Amino acid sequence: MIDAWVYIEHDSGEIEDVSLEIVGRLNEIKASLPLRITGFSFGRDPGEIPRKAISQGVEHFIFLRNDLFSFYDTQSYVNGIEGIVRERRPDIILLGATYQGRDLAGRLAARLKTGLAANAITLNIDEKGLLYTGVPGYGGRFIAEIVNMKARPQISTVRQGIFRKLPQDNSRSGEVENIEVKFGDFSPRLRVVERVRKDVKDITKSERVVIIGNGAGNNLKPIEDFARLIGADIGVTRPVADRGLAPRDIQVGSTGVSLNSKLVIIFGSSGSNHFVSGIERCKNVISIDVDRNSNIFNYSDYCVVADMFTILPYLNRRFGGQ
């Protein structure tokens, strides 16, 4: 039996989608392999987290309980999970490539002296329990397949929006373990003075997205105005995020997020390989670019050869703008 663990990241009782997306992918793999899917999480009180995770494909849930787990702290979390990992020796540990997941995965891999594949966009397991992860390299210009042949557990973070969650089914059953973690003399170095939550739109769930490419330069406002008029959320390509004009949370592509939108409208993207991997699941893609030979048109359902700043005033007036 191959034992695969998934970090079920949660906040205020809500599980991060990427955790359940990983569980969904493992259930696909489980159809042809003897695989046990274990979820693990931290906190003071499990609440509904184990039940929700089991209803979406987790078979065995480990909840690690301690007052220090009331907020995320790398040192406390790693100290809390290290002992049980060494004792039970899972074959695979997977975490979402969130800020928290990346932080925890790196510290845990270092503590266990094993490897870490970061930001995986493909996951496969063979009959021997070897984990094959596809990760983007050189800014997403190619996909490298990584296999950890010797060290265990095999650890990887997984990018959001790549895999599909299982439909929730409350008839699913699973085992739940509540483990009280004892720290002994350990004292955390981090003290929370104030916690401020910054809400950033999760565009992986958006039905309509307008994407701003490098061709827009620094003039994002006309495109943002158009997006508001049609009720769309904003995404950007990597160069736009690199210049600090938009947060990384809305960067689309192999080093950002993947979309599953019904409609995507792209302004001024050349269509590099690392970008188009983020739109390949979208239903309708419309691209506007001044270069009729732009690579983005090879990945678009509708192609508009035009200067975006010439066409935008017409679009804005057409949809009720000034």
Q: Name the amino acid, one letter, at 2.
A: I
Beta carbons within 8 Å of 312's beta carbon, 6+ residues apart: 222, 223, 226, 267
CATH topology classification for 203-318 = Rossmann fold (3.40.50)
Neighbours of 7 (CB within 10 A): 26
| DSSP code at position 166 | P
Each residue of 271-305: pLDDT tens digit? 987 788 889 889 999 999 999 999 999 999 999 99
Alpha carbons 225 and 316: distance in angstroms, whole number: 8
Each residue of 108-127: pLDDT tens digit? 999 999 999 998 989 999 99
Each residue of 185-241: pLDDT tens digit? 766 676 777 767 667 778 988 999 999 999 999 889 999 999 999 999 999 999 999
pLDDT score for 316: 85
pLDDT score for 138: 58
Length of the chain: 322
Q: What is the CATH number of domain 2-180?
A: 3.40.50.620
The answer to whether residues 15 and 8 touch, using CB atoms and an 8 Å cutoff, is yes
Alpha carbons 246 and 239: distance in angstroms, whole number: 10
pLDDT score for 321: 57
Write down the domain spans for the chain: 2-180, 203-318
Q: Name the amino acid, one letter, at 31.
A: A
In this predicted structure, which of 22-31, 123-132, 183-192 has the lowest mean pLDDT?
183-192
In this chain, the answer to whether the domains covering 2-180 and 203-318 adopt an identical fold is yes
Each residue of 244-261: pLDDT tens digit? 999 988 999 877 888 889
Each residue of 62-99: pLDDT tens digit? 999 988 888 888 888 999 999 999 999 999 999 999 88
The answer to whether residues 153 and 93 touch, using CB atoms and an 8 Å cutoff, is yes
283-290: which pairs have CB atoms within 8 A and are 24 or more residues apart? 289/213, 289/215, 290/215
The answer to whether residues 35 and 127 touch, using CB atoms and an 8 Å cutoff, is no
